[in-house]
């Protein structure tokens, strides 16, 4: 079996995102197209916020689904954030905020906002020579007077400090950084670096140094990180992007007993993680233009002692209240096994096997016939692995029989 296929089905990223071809995308398209239309193009872009949970047996295509949605979000002009619970501690929301902050590139957002400010003042940022700041461009053209400078300050205040969705300290830091991009008010390089360090929650930064700038912030902690994330999402929107789309994979790490993993959760850290997610769910309506998608193996739900059900305050918020005969695309708990059982017909399974065989470009995997594909469709309702893994296993068995 190809290594890349194994990694993608097991929940690890692969460099070959198209390894399953268009057919697998079509099989999941029942859900991805729905998310694209209802959430990415409408609800989230229009100022909404959402948290979704993706589950399924190993090999059900959770990581592939996240990749598909990340690609769609990028096409819809979202800042996309991807990370794994294997790499980032989940029990302290500050760690999650910091990772999102790093992947969103706030300086790029502020650069775009500066272009909007320039346009609002009646100028075109494209007319400013590369490497020249706005204030220098104005001075060169005899317009760098006190009245113009006052207008720049007024614009910065309106964009940042008067915005109710921005934390006051976050707004002031962004205002100062944007002023540095414009060239007015002047911001020295060392002060710029201190502001960025504070925004990313650097514990080494001394608050007394920031107070010298007339800036009196508190440190970013797990208690105010969600509030800061709301501010970051607003900065992303002000920069012209649709919002932030965050995918967090491998959440089953919370109950992993492997000593080989880089992170290991004690009972206390696991419950802190559940509480952190519970708080995010409760706060999500106060945020705008942001969507989270957590993915994890079914074991995280089935484990009564350590899984999601063990933390009642969280489980009450994410369990499905009504389970109908048809897959509910609005459900916040997305079961990819159930989706596959409904949408992956024998014909679709045959096409997936063709895509896999073609992607392998070797004789180790054999295309499935209708009879074997039908058996797999029936097996998908039971067993320990997802339908995509079943397809791979069957393709190898067919080859061995030959």
Say how many C-beta atoms besides its own lie within 10 A of residue 247's C-beta: 23
- Average pLDDT score over residue span 289-295: 98
Query: How far from 97 is each of 101, 336, 368, CA to CA, in Å?
Result: 6, 28, 45
Contact status, residue 318 vs residue 360, Cβ threshold 8 Å: no
Q: What is the pLDDT of residues 322-367, one digit of tens each?
A: 555 677 888 999 988 888 777 777 777 777 777 767 655 545 667 8
Phi then psi for residue 245, to 5 deg, are -115, 115
Is the per-residue pLDDT at 9 higher than 50? no
In the block, residue with structure tokens 């909404």? 48
Q: Give strand ranges (E) for 263-363.
A: 290-297, 333-335
Longest dimension (CA), the chain: 84
pLDDT digits (tens, 9 = 90+) for 109-161: 999 999 999 999 999 999 999 999 999 999 999 999 999 999 999 999 999 99
C-alpha 186/C-alpha 192 separation (Å) is 10
CB 228 within 8 A of CB 97: yes
Whether the link from the prior residue into 193 is cis, omega within 30° of 0, is: no
Mean pLDDT of the chain: 87
CB 56 within 8 A of CB 344: no
Q: How confident is the model at residue 12 (pLDDT cuts 50, 70, 90)?
A: very low
Contact 169, 217 (CB under 8 A): yes
Q: Coil, strand or helix: which one is 249?
A: strand
State the pTM of this model.
0.86
């Amino acid at each position: 079996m190809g290594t890349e296929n194994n990694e993608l089905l097991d929940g690890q990223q692969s460099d070959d995102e198209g390894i399953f071809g268009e057919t697998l995308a079509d099989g999941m398209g029942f859900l991805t197209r729905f998310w694209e239309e209802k959430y990415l193009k409408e609800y989230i872009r229009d100022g909404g916020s959402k948290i979704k949970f993706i589950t399924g047996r190993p090999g059900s295509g959770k990581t592939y689904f996240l990749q598909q949605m990340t690609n769609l979000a990028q096409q819809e002009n979202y800042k996309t954030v991807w990370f794994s619970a294997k790499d980032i501690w989940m029990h302290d929301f500050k760690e999650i905020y910091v990772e999102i902050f790093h992947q969103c590139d706030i300086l790029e957002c502020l650069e775009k906002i500066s272009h909007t400010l320039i346009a609002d003042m009646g100028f075109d940022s494209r007319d400013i020579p590369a490497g020249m700041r706005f204030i220098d461009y104005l001075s060169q053209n005899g317009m760098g007077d006190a009245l113009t400078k006052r207008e720049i300050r007024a614009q910065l205040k309106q964009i940042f400090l008067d915005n109710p969705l921005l934390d006051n300290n976050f707004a002031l830091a962004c205002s100062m950084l944007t002023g540095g991009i414009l060239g007015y008010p002047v911001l020295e390089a060392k002060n710029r670096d201190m502001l960025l360090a504070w925004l990313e929650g650097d514990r080494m930064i001394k608050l007394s140094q920031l107070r010298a700038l007339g800036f009196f912030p508190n440190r970013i902690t797990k208690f105010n990180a969600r509030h800061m994330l709301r501010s970051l999402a607003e900065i992303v929107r002000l920069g012209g992007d649709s919002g932030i789309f965050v995918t967090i994979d491998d959440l089953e790490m919370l109950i992993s007993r492997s000593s080989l993993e880089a992170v290991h959760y004690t009972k206390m850290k696991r419950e802190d993680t559940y509480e952190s997610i519970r708080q995010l769910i409760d706060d999500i309506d106060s945020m705008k233009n942001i969507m989270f998608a957590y993915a994890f193996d079914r074991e995280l739900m089935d484990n009564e002692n350590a899984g999601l059900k063990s933390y009642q305050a969280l489980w009450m918020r994410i369990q499905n209240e009504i389970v109908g005969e048809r897959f509910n695309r609005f459900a916040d708990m997305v079961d990819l096994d159930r989706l596959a059982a409904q949408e992956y017909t024998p014909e679709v399974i045959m096409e997936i096997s063709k895509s896999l065989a073609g992607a392998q470009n070797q004789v180790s995997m054999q295309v499935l016939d209708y009879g074997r594909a039908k058996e797999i469709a029936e097996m998908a309702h039971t067993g320990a692995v997802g339908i995509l893994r079943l397809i791979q296993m069957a393709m190898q068995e067919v080859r061995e029989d030959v």
